[in-house]
Amino acid sequence: MLQLRFCRRNIEQMDSIRAGAQLAYSECQYQFHQRRWNCSLINPNTKKVFGHMILNRGTREAAFVHAISSAGIAYRITRDCSKGLIDKCGCDLSALKRTDQFNWNGCSDNVRYGVAVSRAFVDAAERGKNQTIERKIMNLHNNNAGRQVLELNTRKQCKCHGLSGSCEMRTCWKSMPTFREVGKIIKDKFDGATEVAIVEEDNKPIMVRKNVNFRRHTKADLVYLESSPDYCEPDPEYGILGTHGRHCNVSSHGIDGCELMCCYRGFDTRVHKIMDRCNCKFHYCCRVVCQPCEKIIEDHTCK
């Protein structure tokens, strides 16, 4: 209900929010394309970006999805503000000042506005859901952790001005990282996520680490409540596709290798012949001549 109210009051921002969610989903697929869980949808025609039941469990994967979604919406809102596509916002003018070293100018990314919109929209969904207090606390924490990646990694960029390439004056502005960088940072946080439990302290629910031998989590870390399944076999109830038919790397000993990706079930190998170019030579002037060559490609898929 709270999120629906936001949508009705901010119709002009909904295209940017939708694009931000799609951006997050694409980045999720990229970051996990070599993992057993690869961020796939059971029904690719669904209108929900993360429509699978994986979000109903308090796992690392759910933590990542919440963080990347929150960051994606903040990112796209900020970018569209800078492009002048949203009437309610524009460039960040708070940084426009001059120092002895440089002059703030240009269009600084208005990250604060993007983060505020993301918080209002994404967090409203959690506050309006009928779910346990444990999941609400976990989800709100991970939403905020995703947005913090944008805030903490926005950097100053500068351009020099002066005769003959001298840098008598620099014009500087604040710029967000690429979303690929954002995805990589959140993926690293996924790998180092902390398992937590919710306890009462002074009549208030708080998160504490389950294992005292691990370091305490910070506001910027991802947290989760329960261990993940192995994702080896299909489980429609939880939106798990399994790894049957997935491509694997026969030469890798990592999670993308055939042994781990296929959950020790073995794999099939198919041989393909393709035509390629080889023995290429440069002829003056100015062309490259190659010979056609036949290449044999092996394709490995999980049984």
H or E, element range at 278:
strand 267-283
Structural domains of the chain, ranges and CATH numbers in brackets: 2-89+110-152+179-238 (no CATH), 258-302 (3.30.2460.20)
- Whole-angstrom distance, CA of residue 188 vs CA of residue 181: 11
- C-alpha atoms less than 13 angstroms from C-alpha of 169 in its C-beta half-sphere: 9
| Rg of the chain (C-alpha set) | 24
pLDDT, one tens digit per residue, over 214-260 is: 888 999 999 999 999 999 999 888 878 999 999 999 999 999 999 99
Q: What is the mean pLDDT of the chain?
A: 88
Contact (Cβ atoms closer than 8 angstroms) between residue 78 and residue 109: yes
* Eight-state DSSP code of residue 2: H
pLDDT, one tens digit per residue, over 49-63 is: 554 567 788 999 999
Return the exposure string of 118-133: e unless at least 16 CB atoms fall within 10 Å of the residue's CB, then b. Answer: bbebbbbbbeeeeeee
Q: What is the pLDDT of residue 3?
A: 82
CB atoms inside a 10 Å sphere around CB 19: 17
Residue bearing the bigger pLDDT, 233 or 286? 233
Q: Which amino acid is at 115?
A: V
Q: What is the pLDDT of residue 176?
A: 93
Whether residue 262 has a cis bond before it, omega within 30° of 0: no
Using DSSP's 3-state secondary structure scheme, residue 293 falls into strand
Using DSSP's 3-state secondary structure scheme, residue 46 falls into coil
pTM of the model: 0.87
- Whole-angstrom distance, CA of residue 115 vs CA of residue 185: 17
Residue bearing the bigger pLDDT, 96 or 291? 291
Neighbouring residues of 15: CB distance < 8 A, sequence distance ≥ 6? none
**Local confidence band at 115 (pLDDT 50, 70, 90 cut-offs):** very high
**DSSP sequence for 140-171:** HHHHHHHHHHHHHH-EEEEEEESGGG--SEEE
